[in-house]
Structure 1
Amino acid sequence: MPDMQKRDPSKSKGQSKPKLADKPGDRIAKFLARVGVGSRRDVERMIDDGRVKVNGKVLTTPAFKVTGKEKILVDNAPVEAPDIPRMWRYHKPDGLVTSHKDEQGRRTMFEALPTNMPRVISVGRLDLTSEGLILLTNDGELARALELPSTGWSRRYRARAYGKVTQEQLDTLKKGVVIDGIPTGEIIATLDRQQGDNAWINVTLHDGKNREVRRALETLDLKVNRLIRVSFGPYMLGDLGKGACEEIKTRVLRDQVGHLIDIPEEKSPTRKPKRGSYASAKRFQKKPKDENAAKGRGKFAKGSAKPASKPKSKRPAKKIVGNAYGKPGGKTSGKYAPRSHGKSGQRKGKT
């Protein structure tokens, strides 16, 4: 009989699997991008400039991993833990720079935002003289995902350009143009109207390269003198006024970008029912009478429960007296009592 191999006890059926090691932290560049400090490239430049500290030490590499429990400073300001991803629609006026700081001292878009806004970054950019819709978010990973052409979101613009053009000429842009030696994707341009020496043109593109609309129309000898972005993906500028900012609801954001980034559900705060309202069902529940007795309410305040039936009265039973006609139950006295007759059938008092 062949020798049976010894069974490895570690492979027994009922033995529990070994616990996995704790998940390592994220790279500092990714972590700071999530909290809205900037994009990963921006964070890498901050680290090269010595602007990021972890636990009191200046960071020298963007590959350093953190878990969020460390004390992280950017420009000597503490960095808070990442919040739930949020996004806003903002109508950028012309004349504002789409950056947090400007070397030439010009006013930035972020300086014009409402004071109650958290730290946010922009999804893409608009140049100084452009206006219209810009998406703002507190999550750098979300901003990066929405900027990528692979996301498939289109950008739509209304451009006013000096010069005259035909629709046949605009159709040549569908093949794309070459900007700085790099070919662009498809550009769909439709002529809205020719107004004197200016033409209003609707432009749709997906790449969103630097000054792409202006430089594409320059190939047709058109000079753009006003550029308005009217939509970015599913988000529209609509009737949002210049300089106005409006947050997108979390439910809507989860439906539209939930496939790109995890957006946890917000827990709605529990509210106490208002006094005098119909919010509380307990108010209308019928309480047992012994509970009323325990709380000292009503005629059972002393705690005695209501008897099952009334005790019989100690008074003697009422004698049934017949009426004048010998029938019981009639009225025997009072104003409307019938007159009684004697044995002979004559009324009393008469002879």
Structure 2
Amino acid sequence: MRPAQEGRAMTKPHDPLYEPHLDGQDGDLDGGPGERVAKALARAGVASRREVERLIEAGRVAINGKVLTTPAVKVAPGDFLTVDGQLVAEREPTRIFRYHKPTGLMTTHNDPKGRPTVFGALPKDLPRLISVGRLDLNSEGLLLLTNDGELSRALETPSNAWVRRYRARAFGDTTQAKLDKLKDGVTIEGVTYGAIEAKLDKAHEKAGGGKNVWITVSLSEGKNREVRKVLESIGLKVNRLIRLSYGPFALGTLAAGQIEEVGPRVIRELLEGVVSPENMPTGDRPKFAGIANPTKAPGTEGGGELQRRGAPRADRAVVLDAPEKPEKPVYKPGWAKPKKKASPHGPAKGAGKGPAKGPAKTKRPAKSIESKFIDIGKPAARGKPATPRPGAKPAEGAARRLSERPGKPSARPGPSRGPKR
């Protein structure tokens, strides 16, 4: 016990939970408190387990001040865990974000070539996040981000059978029959790809010859550049690739460069049994309420919602699908009722009863020659002349009415008395 006490005094005298096996770093991982260091860092959102192992190999991880040389070490409650000298905070409840990755960003924290990255474009007030899978530099669409490395690893594995759906535009010619053969899988350069469901959506003839085709591709694994390689194997060169959904999470109307947090209640409903109980979030509202626009569209300034060019909004689509109908007029009491069309089933019950409304309508007789030249050059009066009632006295002619107006000359000289007979 003496060497252990001396080791404690030399390494971390103030740490009562110092583990003597860290000196040799070959402790028994099957027993004792705590969890593997790779798992602990993954749950804290530092990186995935595989990336944590690389960090340990590079000498960037330490427990209680002791730099680790192997991932076969447990972290006990109360241990001080650091990465690059920075203390790793205690794990937070699991959070998930939907991000619309634009083209031109690398899905990595640090790119050796200095190219812009997804994580460099995110708002600064977000926690440290890692991606669920990847999208290459020239691909766009839905990218899931989380602070839970264990969840990221679980959602990436093909065993969860989560379907990834893509929309691909490719140059070339194909048929649905050729695409259906991909359901049996395909082997390319020694790599076997699983079943892929592909649907030919549309094809456009190009001016210089050839075709551009749009294809919807669904698969349940995420090997490197899988969609591009598989379509290339049947003679199609992909020139645009958009991820539409990842499992139950969809891109929806999220514009390019926007990020939106998934609510805790949705996580509980969709990921029960996947997220560990101690990491399961509570409450209903996400912490990150705003929608950021880290990658500005050309010609835009500042924040606000960006709309990706060519992506119709949901409410706009409704208007396009359903043309507006004119509003029906509201009739007030005493107004004339609109004319009703005759029913093909004959007159309704009670028709014909009550006072007669005049004789049946007949063709209006042609106007007399005189009436055609009254107020010549002026527009005709609005409205229809009243139909004379049976037995009523004839009304005075239009010529007399006009002659009584000041400044209105009569149609022909001399007084006009009564209607012509």
What residue in structure 1 maps to residue 59 of structure 2? 50
Letter in 1 for 2:38: A
1:248 aligns with 2:262: yes
Paired residues of 2:162 and 2:246 also in contact (CA < 8 A): yes
Taking a change above 3 Å as real, the CA distance of residues 203 and 61 of structure 1, as seen in their structure-2 partners, is: same
What is residue 43 of structure 2 aligned with on the other side? 34
CA distance in 2, matches of 1:33, 1:265: 17
Inter-CA distance 120–265: structure 2 relative to 1 (3 Å threshold): closer
The partner residue of 2:100 within 91, 105, 111 is 91
How far apart in 2 are the matches of 1:173 and 1:243? 32
Paired residue for 1:203, among 208, 217, 241? 217
Rounded Cα–Cα distance in structure 1 between residues aligned with 2:87 and 2:75? 14
Residues 261 and 180 of structure 1, relative CA distance in 2, 3 Å threshold: farther
CA contact (8 A) 1:68 1:81 kept: no
2:401 matched residue in structure 1:
none
Q: Distance in 2 between matches of 1:92 and 1:226?
A: 13
Length-normalised TM-score, structure 2: 0.57
8 Å CA contact retained: 2:103, 2:139: yes
Residues 128-176 of structure 1 deviation map (CA, whole Å, 9 limit, x = unaligned) = 0000001000000001111111111000000000111111111111111
Rg (Cα) greater in structure: 1
Residue of structure 1 in register with 2:114 after alignment: 105
Query: In 2, distance between residues paired with 1:268 and 1:192?
Result: 38
Q: Measure, in 2, the Cα distance between the counterparts of 1:193 and 1:129.
A: 22
Of the candidates 264, 287, 297, which is equivalent to residue 280 of structure 2?
Answer: 264
Amino acid in structure 1 at the alignment position of 2:237: K
Question: 1:291-346: per-residue Cα shift (whole Å, max 9, x none)?
Answer: xxxxxxxxxxxxxxxxxxxxxxxxxxxxxxxxxxxxxxxxxxxxxxxxxxxxxxxx
Q: Which amino acid aligns with 1:109?
A: V
Determine the C-alpha separation between the residues in 2 that align with 1:201 and 1:267: 40
SS for the counterpart of 2:120 is helix
Tell me, in whole angstroms, the C-alpha distance in 2 between the residues paired with 1:255 and 1:266: 12
CA distance in structure 2 between the aligned counterparts of 1:157 and 1:245, rounded to whole angstroms: 19
- The within-5 A match list for 1:323-338 is none
Separation in 1 of the partners of 2:80 and 2:273?
A: 32
> Is the alpha carbon distance of 1:246 and 1:68 closer, same or farther for their aligned partners in structure 2, counting shifts above 3 Å?
farther
Q: Which residue is equivalent to 2:302? A: none
Select the residue among 237, 244, 247 that pairs with 1:223: 237
Counterpart secondary structure, 2:240: strand
In structure 1, runs of 5+ residues without a counterpart are 1-21, 270-351
For residue 133 of structure 1, give the secondary structure of its aligned residue in structure 2. strand
Q: Residue 80 of structure 2 is aligned with which of 71, 77, 80?
A: 71
Tell me which amino acid in the other structure corresponds to 2:256. Answer: K
Q: How many residues align?
A: 248
Gaps of 5+ in 2: 1-30, 206-210, 286-421
Aligned equivalents of 1:235, 1:267: Cα separation in 2: 20
Q: Note if 1:151 corresponds to 2:160.
A: yes
1:59 aligns with 2:68: yes
Report the 3-state secondary structure (helix = DSSP H, G, I; strand = E; otherwise coil) of the residue aligned with 1:110.
coil
Preserved contact between residue 264 and residue 284 of structure 2 (Cα < 8 Å) = no
Runs of 4 or more, structure 1, over 3 Å off, are none
TM-score, normalised to structure 1, is 0.69
The alpha carbon displacement at 1:266 in A equals 2.3
Code of the residue aligned with 1:46 in structure 2: it is L
**Separation (CA, whole Å) in 2 of partners of 1:236 and 1:29:** 30
Residues 37 and 140 in structure 1, CA contact (< 8 A), matched pair in contact too? yes
